[in-house]
Structure 1
Amino acid sequence: MNRPIVRLGVVAVVAAVLVGGVTLLSPALTSAGESAQAPTRPTRVPLDRATFVCPESSYVSGQTSTDVAAVAAPASVDGGQTNAAGGAAGTPEARLAVSSLGTPTTPVASVDRRERVATYAVRKTQTPPLVVTAHGSVAPGAVAGQLTRTSTGPLRGLAETPCSGPGAQFWFVGTGSELGRHGRVYLTNTDEGSAQVDLRLYDEKGEVDSDAGRGLTIAAGRQQVVELDKLAPTSKHLAVAVVAQRGRVSAALRDDAVKGETAVGVDWIPSATPPAKEIVVPGVASGDGERVLTIVAPEDSTASVNLSLLAANGSFRPADLGDLEIKPGAVVEVPLQNALRKQAGAVRIDSDVPVTASVRSVLGSGSGPHDVAYTSAARALSGPAVVPDTRGGTGRTSSLLLSSPSQQAVNAAVTLVAPDGRQLHTSRVTVRPGSTVELKLEPPKGTERYAVVVTPDRGGPLYGTRLLVENAKDGPMVSSWPLATGETTAVRPVARADIGAGIGVEAPRDPIFH
């Protein structure tokens, strides 16, 4: 049976902070001198602090390295949503810092301006997870990510993920526990109190009955890694819902696959949007190899689903796929490579009950190593989206896959920014109605790393992914970054007397982020 997601909380509130898309509520009392005529509507205030967790700092000398990067969009290209560094009197000092979990006062890297990138290269073993904190005028729109490169062995490949903020609910679709597959969920608590978390698993047969994934306690300032093959050892296709019943956590899921001793794909699966009746999964890579859509229908009724593909020449419904029926709680896989015919694309999914999904793009051929990139159901951009770290240099290519299901063309500006904040190049791109555009990123010659800012014009919805491919001697390595608009405001709810205070539900998201 599907169980409703309910959290214990405090109803009377006057302060909130949006971090990782979740409103944080804290209790407060009204002083005797304050007016009894309180506002009746929540207000929106500029975000002045944010926290992001980079889940795993892998390093093996000569084999594996991890790099973390964090940045807020330069004020000149962020659509006017934020101010330059400095801030008004009384606001926190501007600082974007990288530190180890548990030692926030001793950063290993920091910057104090929006346009500058804070970077840290993990070059020692047993490095704790890294935490990025943003304060003051660099908090609105701040984003952080980690990129791990492994040159040999069963984990060979590129593995990239946004560093996620604390939240109460996360969805991951597309992992598995069949022979050769290994999924891990990373749960990190940066708050001062402990968190209690449930993992709800779904596979090809329906919801998985696994008590071992319930009631997990994550201590303050700690991380817990959960091996999914211990919770669902025979599941071929898996989806995971992370639900914080008390407190908040940051969550991430890494999936790796091997065939014998040969790597056939390693990457982080991005968090998907919660189940909905209409979703879009962008970022299906062009070229040869498997392109597999994975859908979960976690509700208690059968889902009737139809698919549309957004490709270079427009939108179409694949004739050989038809309408899908997904039984309650089940996960299904749908191959897309024959329908897309090597084109880049996106998937639009319409269902009569809520679903969510991801796509797996596999690169490589023959018996040699392969690598994989995952993309997940995403929200349309509502403002600038920042990719903090994109690599240039010999053998590397990067591209944006931009899609719109709209019936009108959508325009966007693409700006490449150097780590010191200099704007390297700006171009404009048009996405035709119902289509996908693959735009190759071309920084100035000799540029080794840069940030990317995608700023959509007002108009139809725009979805996207940045794809990074390294053409290594033994085969391609690939990773992807989901484009998402950074959070710029927090919701300050209104204090209301409530005799039921103490029993509540998860606070609604600010509509600007839907």
Structure 2
Amino acid sequence: MNRTTLSLIAAVTALAAVTGFAAATTPGEEDTSGRAAAARLPVERSSLLCPEPSQSDLAETAYTSYTPETKGTEGVGTAELVPAKGGKKGKAVVTPKKPGTPVAGDATGAEAPALTGTADGALAPGWTVQQTTSVTAGSGRGLLGVNCSEPDTDFYFPGASTAKGRSDYVHLTNPDDEAAVVDVQMYGPEGAIKSEVGEGITVPPHSSVPVLLSTLTDKAYTNLTLHVTARSGRVGAALSDVDEKLGGDWLPASADPAASLVLPGIPKDAKNARLVAFAPGQDDADLKVQLATSSGKIAPAGHDTLHLKSGMTTAVDLGAVTRGEAGSLILTPSEGSVPVVAALRVTRGKGADQETAFIPATRSIGARATVADNRAKGSTLALTAPESTGKVKVTASPGTEGGTATTKEYTVKGGTTLSVTPPVPSGLKGSYALTVEPVSGGPVHGSRMLEKKQGSVPAFTVQTLPDDRGMVSVPKADEDLSVVQK
């Protein structure tokens, strides 16, 4: 084999490992083409973007970075999160040193910037950063949590609003050396909302741009679906909800449009769960709505089906749907198979002491999922097996300041939700990370609720547990001398 052919094969392998380029088959699928199966290798580089935490002077923000240990990685690798300041090099907020040990950083007040970060080598596969902000008074008070996200070009946010008393911002962060151009389109109960202001928004290199949704329309809409697309470049996108009366939190993007969706981990004491759903294609969608409880699936009273008109946002208040035990919402097609997106806005507390959080539809834990910034008290893990029974292994990492990792296995019966206090590392000091991996059975979806009492306010936030995409399928390359003969 000559040097040119070897170089081409090496280039294909490197491209797949760095960018996440996937082969035609995914895990669990059989390649029937007769070709050798693609190898599963750790990614070699990851990027994460954290939005500007808060506009409150009272904000206290904690950043927790964690990379689970991954077989097949060599060396230590490097990673850092730095302020997004137009390319100007700033002091790193967190600088992890090795996988398997979480690292924490912090920021205070309204001046904390958005962050951009990269990790390579052994720190890249499954790199996770949790941003948790506590605001004790004023608009948006409560606990606001978000997993810093990968840059992308397409996002859906069902559950946005321009209603009176709400201040919703979509934060657009550009990690690259070239400007990104982004369109922000809103969909209300009657369809697309025209707004020239939301078209062609320029996000400078290594910068973040917050866009107040109420500036994109003159009309107040209680329930909206936001669609963010990048015409050029790529961005990180996250939606912050600041409510004058009901606290605030981050609304992450929903999972990609799909015919069936899982929204895991509605708290047992939820006073109301509002489902917001949207069918982005040309066809209407008819959905079966089910709640997966600890004992099986039930239909929410009066809301067992949902009809979505194409291009129009639909919202349904399910009330105290969990009735004292944690549950997960499962949406499946009752007729046809039309891709949809969805999210839940969950409310806890009473009167002036209510607080809200969001649960978007999410992918299954896949090969592995990780969530950082768990505390000795106040963390709850919800696991849902929408169809067949699944068994998972949950690993609690050492703490940011000390402790010894521990592992526990859980079996989730098909059609149920298992809500547990997750394992805590022995001798814990600081916060720690949870990693969830499948052991056997069907797919499992999950989320983590973090709660911390603020006076009489039951402050909380929920983060879902999708596959961390730390592994990538690299297609097997065969010698083909015709490549160098053309």
* Fold similarity call, TM over 0.5: yes
- Note the alpha carbon deviations across 1:215-273, whole angstroms, 9 max, x for none: 11212112111111111332211111111121111111111212xxxx31200012111
In structure 2, the CA distance between the partners of 1:324 and 1:155, relative to structure 1 (3 Å rule), is: closer
How is 1:44-83 mapped onto 2 (pairs within 5 angstroms)?
45-58=41-54, 63-75=58-70, 80=71, 82-83=72-73
Q: Retained in 2: the 8 A contact 1:16–1:492?
A: no
Query: How many residue pairs were aligned?
Result: 447
- Structure 1 position 337, deviation (Å): 3.3
Structure 2: 5+ residue stretches without partners: 1-10, 23-34, 478-486
In structure 2, the CA distance between the partners of 1:17 and 1:372, relative to structure 1 (3 Å rule), is: farther
How is 1:216-365 mapped onto 2 (pairs within 5 angstroms)?
216-232=201-217, 233-258=219-244, 263-351=245-333, 352=336, 353-365=338-350
- Structure 1 position 103, deviation (Å): 4.2
Residue number in structure 2 paired with 1:391 = 375
In structure 2, the CA distance between the partners of 1:419 and 1:452, relative to structure 1 (3 Å rule), is: same
Cα distance between partner residues in 2 of 1:421 and 1:278: 41
- Return the structure number with greater relative CO, CA threshold 8 A, min gap 6: 1
User: RMSD of aligned C-alpha atoms?
Assistant: 2.7
Q: Retained in 2: the 8 A contact 1:265–1:362?
A: no
Q: Retained in 1: the 8 A contact 2:65–2:94?
A: no
TM-score norm. by structure 2 comes to 0.85
Q: Retained in 1: the 8 A contact 2:51–2:114?
A: yes
> Is 1:100 matched up with 2:100?
no
Residue number in structure 2 paired with 1:415 = 396
Q: Retained in 2: the 8 A contact 1:414–1:429?
A: no
3-state SS, counterpart of residue 245 of structure 1: strand
Cα distance between partner residues in 2 of 1:404 and 1:41: 28
> Is 1:438 matched up with 2:408?
no
Cα distance between partner residues in 2 of 1:175 and 1:107: 32
Residue number in structure 1 paired with 2:4 = none
Residue number in structure 1 paired with 2:121 = 136
Structure 1: 5+ residue stretches without partners: 1-12, 24-38, 88-92, 496-514
Cα distance between partner residues in 1 of 2:20 and 2:128: 13
Cα distance between partner residues in 2 of 1:289 and 1:388: 27
Identity of aligned residues (%): 28
Cα distance between partner residues in 1 of 2:448 and 2:103: 20
> Is 1:206 matched up with 2:191?
yes
For 2:374, give the aligned amino acid. Answer: T
In structure 2, the CA distance between the partners of 1:105 and 1:134, relative to structure 1 (3 Å rule), is: farther
For 1:457, give the aligned amino acid. Answer: V
- Structure 1 position 40, deviation (Å): 12
- Structure 1 position 210, deviation (Å): 1.9
Cα distance between partner residues in 2 of 1:336 and 1:211: 35
Give the one of 93, 101, 119 matched to 1:116. 101
In structure 2, the CA distance between the partners of 1:348 and 1:104, relative to structure 1 (3 Å rule), is: farther
Cα distance between partner residues in 2 of 1:191 and 1:473: 42
In structure 2, the CA distance between the partners of 1:424 and 1:267, relative to structure 1 (3 Å rule), is: same
Cα distance between partner residues in 2 of 1:354 and 1:130: 33
In structure 2, the CA distance between the partners of 1:18 and 1:375, relative to structure 1 (3 Å rule), is: farther
Residue number in structure 1 paired with 2:163 = 178
3-state SS, counterpart of residue 146 of structure 2: strand
- Structure 1 position 389, deviation (Å): 0.9
For 1:387, give the aligned amino acid. Answer: V
Residue number in structure 2 paired with 1:146 = 131
